[in-house]
Every structure is written in C-alpha cells, then in structure tokens.
Amino acid sequence: MRYADTRGVLRGLLSEMLMQRELLVVGFSLTDENVHKAIDEVRKIRNDGAGNKQDVMLGTCTTLVENSMFRQLWKDDFQIVSCVDSADDGLYEAPWIMDCWLDCLVSGIIEKTAANSFIMNAKYQVLLTRPQLKVKSALEPLHFLAGDADVRNSPMWPVIEDLLKEFGW
C-alpha cells in the first residue's frame, strides 16, 4: 500500500538499470506489481510516441520450468531461459541445472576480473609469468604518475587509476 512512499526510490533505480543495460533476472517471477510499474515506465520511455517500440530487450529472465504463457507475456521485453521444458522432463533436476549454470556464470566472471588483479602487487612478484612481468614493467611508469599532482588532477587520471587498480595497484 505504501510502497511508493517508502520504497519509490528502489523502483526508480530499477527503471534506471533497465534503461542503461540488460538485466539478468534469477529467482524472481516477475509477478510483483511494483516491478511491473518500473517495466512499464521503461516501456513508455522507449516508445517513440507513435506506438513504435524499440527492439531492445530489457534483459534475460531465468525460470526453472518452461511456461509458454509466461514466455508469451514477456517475449517483447525479456529473453526467457528455462532449465527444463516441462515438469515431466525433470522437475527435480531443474534446480540442479540452475545451480550449475549460476556456478559457471559466477566462476567465469571471477576468472575474468581476477585474471590480472595481482600483477602490480609486489607480494606476487615471484609468481608472475614472463608476459605478466612485461605488463608490470610497462605499467610501472604509470604507477609513479600517482605522485604527480598535475596528473592526478587531470581528467585522464581516473582512467589511468582504474587501469592500475585492475592490475592490482
């Protein structure tokens, strides 16, 4: 009843996220009225006023069991990925399939983000491969720029700083 009073900002954040990037929906049925309102706000903005929609998906929604009505309802907004085609195909396997898929997704993200996160850290110097040592050697001059106030105060510094942080500075 008082959602707009107490959590209206959350709906605004959801709308903003849906406008900026595709959203991965896991473990949520898309049946919440407040989520529907956020999606509708995005639909209105993406509609050009003449009833023409942009062909941009809001995201991907994962479900345990295929539901053709659910897929039809959301086909213009979300790509639907179901773990099993029907309850007869393995209702008890669906959660296991979802768990395996999520584990694979998360491990891929971690592997990608952690692959270089230690190169600039002196503690790991002895573990670096020859290519990693070459990269570290190339990045070290950028590292020393942190002591230069003119560089730190320039608009390019945040980009350089992000690069160095990605490599473990």
Alpha-carbon distances of 5 from 1, 2, 9, 11, 17, rounded to whole Å: 9, 5, 9, 11, 20
Grouping H, G, I as helix, E, B as strand and the rest as coil, residue 59 is: strand
Predicted confidence pLDDT, tens digits, the chain (169 residues): 677 777 778 888 988 999 999 999 998 888 888 889 889 989 888 876 655 666 788 999 999 999 999 999 999 999 999 999 988 877 788 899 999 999 999 998 888 778 788 898 889 889 999 999 999 999 989 888 888 999 999 999 999 999 888 888 8
What phi and psi values does residue 82 have, to the nearest 5 degrees? -110, 145
Q: Looking at residue 5, what is its pLDDT?
A: 76
Q: In this predicted structure, what is the pLDDT of residue 28?
A: 86
Q: What is the reported pLDDT for 77?
A: 92
Classify residue 118 as exposed, middle or buried by CB count within 10 Å of its CB (0-12, 13-18, 19+). middle
Which amino acid appears at position 34 of this protein? N
pLDDT of residue 59: 93
Q: How many CB atoms lie within 10 A of CB 89?
A: 13
Burial class (CB in 10 A: 0-12, 13-18, 19+), 37: middle
Our CA angle for 147, 153, 158, nearest 5°, is 90
**How far is the C-alpha of 164 from the C-alpha of 139, rounded, in Å?**
7
Alpha helices in 21-78 (DSSP H): 33-46, 68-74
